[in-house]
Structure 1
Amino acid sequence: MSAAEPPTRWRSVLPHLTEPLPPDHTPQAAAGGNGVQVNLPMELVRQSVQRKEFWDIPAEVVDAYRAFRPTPLWRARGFERAVGARVPVYVKYEGGNISGSHKLNTALAQAYYYARAGVKELVSGTGAGQWGTALAAACAMFGMKCTIFMVGTSLRRKPYRGTLMRTLGATVHASPSGLTEVARQADAGVNSLSLAIGEAVEYAARTDGAAFCIGSGETYSILHQSVIGLEAAGQLAALDAEFDAVVGCVGAGSNFGGIALPFFAAAAEAGTEPPLLVAAESSTTPKLTRGTYAYDRTDATGTGPMEAMYTIGSSYPIPDSHSAGLRFHGAAKVISAMRHRDEIAATAVGQVEALDAGRIFTRGEMVLPAPESGHALAAAARLAGAGAEGNSAKGNSEVLRAEKGVVVCVSGHGYLDLGAYQQLMDGELSDEAPDPGALRLAMGDLDRVERLAEVGAGAGHVR
């Protein structure tokens, strides 16, 4: 790969995991024939399960990547000065495409594979709108219809996200929409990414020629995002940059996985210690810092596969925030398994701190980050400064600190999030802490995963 060319292969972390991922469980409804079936193109299935390290990127997808990749990486000296950093902070910026985020990396790949499989329409749910916009753009590029269910509170705050998706040819519904049974059965006032995804799953299942697709938590989507870390590694080497920490924000995990896991794979291959890999999550949705490792559903229908994940419970009423892209109850199963083995670290950030970090970054670097990316920037500032407080997978608190340098992925721009920044500057922004009792209730009946090796071998799960 030259400095002016995007990668032509994705890199999987699966060959470097010391234990197999726990198998998915099929809910009773699906097992009895009444569940919603989500059919994947076989290549996406293979990318999810095979322990193959490098996967050729289809030529059509590489050509599409060339419109915006490689993405820039630079040393954020203005940000360093503003936060009093002791060590360099390097930024990998993914916001310079039509979707405004890293989501286009997997949207293009998925649209390509679904189109080859004969699918005519892709349907999905979106939180902050980056994924919906990316999928709308990818469908337009590959000649497919697109239907998006967007979390209603987020769409009302950011109506131009809907406008952009419609400009790209997509049909956009605010969730809960009233178009699906899962929405009609939802509690009044519920606005969640899980519900939006559930509506998309149900709608796709009853629509001829349509298929549901997802942009963040699945293993294949994290594989597609490896272009971020692969590019970053080459760019950092060209700068002779020293670093010992890599940071990304986490909703389900594709952005964090994209920037961090290629560094883990490279270290495993070389037999060296990987950098500290830090997942920055929203304090309103603290699955990696306060959740439990258990089997949980991925959407509000409850008919898709139950996956082993760090979760606060799919029934937990997540407090509202401007970082809708982080408001998902669970983390990807690959991220969760690595978290369980303490191969990655996690820290929680409130939206006030996140947006303030975004404001500081804007003034220092002349780039406006999305609120989600502000969480990663806040964590990077802590790591490069006095150190950040995090939690290990075993529940122990720890101080996370970089001694050489920090690499952080700014996963998207915030130009459609200016209302959040206005609230910050007007002093109207606050953080709503999760309710401990509600967390315990939502996680109480989940089947917990204790021993990965036994579960991976088919020994079942334990409470």
Structure 2
Amino acid sequence: MTSAIPVPTRWYNVLAERGIELPEERAADRTPNTKGGLSAAVPKALVRQNMPLKPWVDIPGPVQEAYREWRPTPLIRLRRLEAALGTSARIYMKYEAGNVAGSHKFLTALAQAYYYAEAGVRTLVTSSAAGQWGTAVAAAAARFDLQCVVHMVPGSYDRKPGRRAAMELLGAEVLRGAQSAPHKQSAPHEQPASHTRPHEQPASHTRDDRSTSLSDVMSEAMERAGRTEGGRWILGGSEPFAILHSTVIGAEARDQLAAAGEDQAPVLIGYLGGGKNVGGLGLPFLAEGHDATIVPVESSSYPVLTRGHYRYDARDRAGHGSQAKMYTLGSAFAGAPIQAEGMRYHAAPKLFSALHAQGMLQPEAYDEKPVFDSARLLLRTEGHLPSAEAAYAVHAACELACRPEQAERPVVFCLSDHGHYDGDAYRAYLDDQLAGRAPDDDEIT
């Protein structure tokens, strides 16, 4: 269900369509940040895309050209999964893993790399949890002739050598993050640090690798970018402009559902993470007054939307960046070491936080074991292995499709990343070694 559907030439801005002003960010000292929380080093085009200026934003020609190499992506009716579940609901999968990065994250990585290259930046520095984002940035940097440095969560660095190898094959320098990486010589273009680097701390000061989360490696990546000549930290994993770039997914899906004869408002599902896959799929269905149910799915071990507090908080553990108003468990929150590294973050994206505060989302949270049960069922019935993160969307689709109130509506989930590098996660599931655990109220407080 792809050939007759054109590749979108515009991105959708829900802020403009719905007249939403995001709360102003503030600096770490709690003073207002007059630049909207973004560094002056962020290209102006990206800053403007974080504002409610116009509902549709033209995609630059070089980015459109890159998109057309693998888009439109298929929307697949999963009839065998429906039969296995015994549901009369119609379940569709929007498959976003068929590109060089193996992930939906390539959409915004390409756009950001283009804008940074146009601004004269030479090196992109980023942080990555499970490695999908790092792979996407590495591939985008290679396309636009940029250097790339990826700080990777140590648990993933050790347990996912396939993703690390892919990044290195694409030309990226990949560092084992968060205080426990071995000493590494500075690159020629790198300025010497004026203080001890986080990843050179003595072993006695390191955190347990499995408790290290994206918040920790974000702090390192920011510090590295600040001392790299011609380098910039790509913060766009959860920025509104990153979600905007991902709306190509939903724009295609709207046309594909219409071509399939679906005229009921759909249920649209994706794991939360940085919000790109569920926002990319779901938000275009709100355009021009259309209605849909958008379901961000999270781990019960990191229940940011379902149990978090809507307040200002730091984005990273060290507090290097500005504070944003988000649903948060607290930047010092240390949750269970779940297999879905990309969901081990203390807060929801600020755009999704604002949408949830207005009652526009219906979040769900699930434990690890049933999530992996559903991923296994998808593999057995339809032959697709999702990433540990995308497995949450699979499970939510299975659960919601079996609820009577959804019987007449199409249930659409985004299979945003393949699980070909997640053998360690599925091995832990098969060996009954999953460590997910819902926090108690005191831990969140």
The TM-score, its normalising length taken from structure 2, stands at 0.90
C-alpha displacement of 1:36: 11
C-alpha displacement of 1:352: 1.4
Tell whether 2:260 aligns with 1:259. no
Instruction: Specify which of 232, 236, 249 is matched with residue 271 of structure 2.
Output: 249
Instruction: Specify which of 239, 249, 256 is matched with residue 218 of structure 1.
Output: 239
For residues 316 and 430 of structure 1, what CA distance do their matches in structure 2 show? 16
What is the match of residue 90 of structure 1?
92
CA contact (8 A) 1:248 1:408 kept: yes
What is the match of residue 207 of structure 2?
188
What is the match of residue 192 of structure 2?
none
> Where does 1:303-318 land on structure 2 (aligned, <5 Å)?
303-318=320-335
Tell whether 2:301 aligns with 1:284. yes
For residues 30 and 198 of structure 1, what CA distance do their matches in structure 2 show? 20
Unaligned runs of 5+ in 1: 388-399, 441-463
> Where does 1:20-59 land on structure 2 (aligned, <5 Å)?
20-28=21-29, 37=39, 39-59=41-61
Tell whether 2:350 aligns with 1:328. no
Q: Deviations over 1:364-394 (max 9, x none)?
A: 111111111110111111111037xxxxxxx
What is the match of residue 404 of structure 1?
409
Return closer, same or farther for 1:406/1:368 CA change in 2, 3 Å cut-off. same
Q: Deviations over 1:152-189 (max 9, x none)?
A: 01121111111110010000011114576455497622
Tell whether 2:377 aligns with 1:360. yes
> Where does 1:11-410 land on structure 2 (aligned, <5 Å)?
11-28=12-29, 37=39, 39-177=41-179, 181-182=197-198, 184=201, 188-189=207-208, 190-241=211-262, 242-264=264-286, 266=287, 269-270=288-289, 272=290, 274-386=291-403, 401=406, 403-410=408-415
Give, as a single letter, the amino acid of the residue that structure 2 aligns with 1:12. N
CA contact (8 A) 1:73 1:235 kept: yes
What is the match of residue 430 of structure 2?
425
Q: Deviations over 1:317-349 (max 9, x none)?
A: 021011011111111111111101111110101
Give, as a single letter, the amino acid of the residue that structure 2 aligns with 1:227. V
CA contact (8 A) 2:3 2:72 kept: no
C-alpha displacement of 1:214: 2.6
CA contact (8 A) 1:30 1:304 kept: no
Q: Deviations over 1:244-269 (max 9, x none)?
A: 311111012111110111112x2xx2
C-alpha displacement of 1:81: 1.5
Give, as a single letter, the amino acid of the residue that structure 1 aligns with 2:27. T
For residues 415 and 397 of structure 2, what CA distance do their matches in structure 1 show? 11
CA contact (8 A) 1:359 1:421 kept: no
Return closer, same or farther for 1:86/1:40 CA change in 2, 3 Å cut-off. same
Q: Deviations over 1:197-247 (max 9, x none)?
A: 111111001111000003421010000000010011011111112453111
> Mean Cα displacement is larger for which, 281-290 or 14-23?
14-23
For residues 215 and 160 of structure 1, what CA distance do their matches in structure 2 show? 24
Unaligned runs of 5+ in 2: 184-195
Give, as a single letter, the amino acid of the residue that structure 1 aligns with 2:339. H
> Mean Cα displacement is larger for which, 378-387 or 279-288?
378-387
Q: Secondary structure of the equivalent of 2:353? A: helix
CA contact (8 A) 1:383 1:402 kept: no
C-alpha displacement of 1:401: 4.6
For residues 280 and 29 of structure 1, what CA distance do their matches in structure 2 show? 31
Give, as a single letter, the amino acid of the residue that structure 2 aligns with 1:22. P
Alignment coverage as a number of residue pairs: 421
Q: Deviations over 1:6-40 (max 9, x none)?
A: 211111101133542111112229999xx995620
Return closer, same or farther for 1:377/1:435 CA change in 2, 3 Å cut-off. same
C-alpha displacement of 1:316: 0.2
CA contact (8 A) 2:339 2:434 kept: no
Return closer, same or farther for 1:174/1:360 CA change in 2, 3 Å cut-off. same
Q: Deviations over 1:429-460 (max 9, x none)?
A: 353222432211xxxxxxxxxxxxxxxxxxxx
Give, as a single letter, the amino acid of the residue that structure 1 aligns with 2:310. Y
Q: Percent identity over the alignment?
A: 42
Return closer, same or farther for 1:128/1:243 CA change in 2, 3 Å cut-off. same
For residues 101 and 310 of structure 1, what CA distance do their matches in structure 2 show? 25
For residues 20 and 110 of structure 2, what CA distance do their matches in structure 1 show? 31
For residues 25 and 235 of structure 1, what CA distance do their matches in structure 2 show? 41
Give, as a single letter, the amino acid of the residue that structure 1 aligns with 2:227. R
For residues 295 and 64 of structure 2, what CA distance do their matches in structure 1 show? 29
Return closer, same or farther for 1:402/1:157 CA change in 2, 3 Å cut-off. farther
C-alpha displacement of 1:3: 3.0
For residues 422 and 217 of structure 1, what CA distance do their matches in structure 2 show? 29
Return closer, same or farther for 1:246/1:36 CA change in 2, 3 Å cut-off. closer
CA contact (8 A) 2:38 2:47 kept: no
Return closer, same or farther for 1:437/1:223 CA change in 2, 3 Å cut-off. same
What is the match of residue 421 of structure 2?
416
Give, as a single letter, the amino acid of the residue that structure 1 aligns with 2:207. A
The TM-score, its normalising length taken from structure 1, stands at 0.86
